[in-house]
Structure 1
Amino acid sequence: MQINLDNRTALVTAATKGIGLAIAVGLRQAGATVTISGRSAQSVEAALQQINQQPGPPPATGVVADPGTAEGAATLIAARPEVDILVNNLGIYGAVPFFEIDDAQWQTMMEVNLLSGVRLARHYARGMQQRGWGRIQFISSESALNIPAEMVHYGVSKAAMQGLARGLAKVLAGSGVTVNTILPGPTRTEGAMAMMAAMAAERGIGIEQMEQRFLQENRPSGLLGRFATPEEVAAMSVYVASPQASATTGAALRVDGGIVESIA
């Protein structure tokens, strides 16, 4: 299969590292003209240097904006009024005991993980619908289906994201615009590895051993036996953005290493 995204424009939020960065690289390699967003000029510039290492398609560009706020979303939209492919990758997480999650933490989690995607999809979906082609993706998590006891607010925000995507897919039914969520499992991002390093230091073991213990203790149903790489998750995203994925919409697509105990 040869994925060709020539003459398509893509926006990937929070793409300065991790899964977002890998998706931006993959989309550009497929021919798309890519824009990334990040919260600082320094992080955006560093990411662009990585994305643009390979010659070929137009170089990726960046916008310094935080769509986790209404002002940041407006800044991003003003800088890129139209795109063909929208990847809502922005998200935050953190382990907090349920009884210690106050209203402010709940509101921040929903504002960043859910409303950022609402704001951007509400704007960009209209242009896609008018042009008769578009791809909207929400990067969710297997935690949307297996709400983790250690961060209930995160899992709930991701479950809400899937509801949003399914509803928007219905709104755009028959328009040529697809809407899907992608559900990674534990992935070797910078944030995840920093968490593993901290946990390994507490237990006096190596990071690789800590990864295995984390999977055994927290994701025992997993079948992969390891953390995925950002590139493995990005491969799903690039496919879903492609013309070949035109019949896939309203779906929750798992790249979770088999963690979710379901055959559906």
Structure 2
Amino acid sequence: MDLGITGRKALVTGADSGIGWNTARLLLEEGATVVISDRDPERLEAAAARLSADEGRLHAFAADITKVDDLRELHEKTQGAVGDIDILVQCAGVTGAQGLFHEIDDEGWTSTLEVDLLGPVRLVREFLPDLRTGEWGRLVLTASEDALQPYDDELPYCAAKAGVMSFAKGLSRSYAQEGLLVNTVGPAFINTPMTDAMMAKRADERGSSVEEAIESFLDEERPYMELKRRGEPEEVANVIVFLCSDRASFVNGSNYRVDSGSVATI
């Protein structure tokens, strides 16, 4: 299927691994020019080396989305490399502070919200002028099942992702008539470095293997994930790239769950 994004210019953050990296790969396969970004320059360079693209269609610039100066520099470098972007995909994020509410202090809340909510806000503020210039734009923010179905041991993350969904919905009402469509995806328990770390910690706490930790997590914490496995990053990236495409020309202000049924309500 031709997604109609050949020649479009995209920026993908959180792209050194997982969902972001696979999104960049699929956008490149669809003919887009792609800028990838993440915090660690060495990891980002290695991620770029694993991607294949014609000369001039792939660029990699390190930046921390929590830092305004980093984002300004990222914008300048992106402008110099490709000009105004048409597509912005925000995948950078952290699990953040975990524990029951009474166990998490202000720093735990602040550090989580700084990355998972204010990071997307600052990123969009910096690049919104690009997305408003061409009468065609796509913005996809990564939310989570946790935004709709909060868990008591990671409330800062849940609150941040609910904020991302509300932020995206508001943006979708402001700019649609200019041609900019804004949506979110809501993954659940995807096979990424973030959930790898969660499962390694769970395995250590329980004295079990990582495989046993994953199985017990699915049984005890995510009983509505009917496929009984972690999702693969590409399975989320497929939906993101659809939302970035001409095929999603009437999709705006929506959240697409990619969660194996994890969210129990309709």
- Which category of TM-score, normalised to the shorter sequence, fits these structures? over 0.9
1:85 aligns with 2:82: no
C-alpha distance 100-201 of structure 1, shift in aligned 2 (>3 A):
closer
Matched, 1:106 2:109: yes
Q: What is the match of residue 3 of structure 2?
A: 3
1:89 is displaced (CA, Å) by 0.9
Output one character per residue of 1:207-262: Cα deviation in whole Å (capped at 9) or x when no partner. Answer: 22321210111111222211100010100011110111011110011001111122
CA shift, 1:58, in A, is 4.2
The match for 2:238 among 227, 235, 238 is 235
Q: Is 2:159 aligned against 1:156?
A: yes
**Local SS of the residue matching 2:183:** strand
Q: CA deviation at 1:90?
A: 1.2
Q: 1:61 aligns with which of 54, 59, 62?
A: 59
Percent identical pairs in the alignment equals: 37
Task: Report the 3-state secondary structure (helix = DSSP H, G, I; strand = E; otherwise coil) of the residue aligned with 1:80.
Answer: helix
Is 2:4–2:247's contact at 8 Å kept on the other side of the alignment?
no
Task: Tell me, yes or no, if the aligned pair for 1:134 and 1:177 is still in contact at 8 Å.
Answer: yes
Give the alignment's TM-score, normalised by structure 1. Answer: 0.93
Q: How large is the RMSD of aligned CA atoms in angstroms?
A: 1.6
Partner of 1:185: 188
- Whether the 8 Å CA contact 1:77–1:120 is kept in 2: the answer is no
- Contact kept, 8 Å, 2:91 with 2:141, in 1: the verdict is yes
1:167 aligned to which of 167, 170, 177: 170
User: Comparing 123-132 with 159-168, which one deviates more in the overlay?
Assistant: 123-132
Q: Give 1:20's aligned residue.
A: 20
Structure 1's unaligned 5+ residue stretches are none
Q: Residue 68 of structure 2: which of 49, 70, 93 is its match?
A: 70
Amino acid paired to 1:42: E
Contact 1:138-1:165 at 8 Å conserved across structures:
yes
- 1:168-187 Cα deviation digits (max 9, x unpaired): 00001222110001000000
1:110-259 to structure 2, matched below 5 A, reads 110-259=113-262
Aligned to 1:40: 40
Report the Cα offset of residue 205 of structure 1.
3.1
TM-superposed deviation, 1:99? 1.5
> With structure 2 as the length reference, what TM-score do the two structures score?
0.93
Letter in 2 for 1:33: T
Q: How far does residue 130 in structure 1 lie from its aligned partner after superposition?
A: 2.6
Q: Secondary structure at the match of 1:91?
A: coil
* C-alpha separation in 2, matches of 1:58 and 1:30: 15
1:127 CA drift (Å): 2.8
Structure 1 SS opposite 2:22: helix
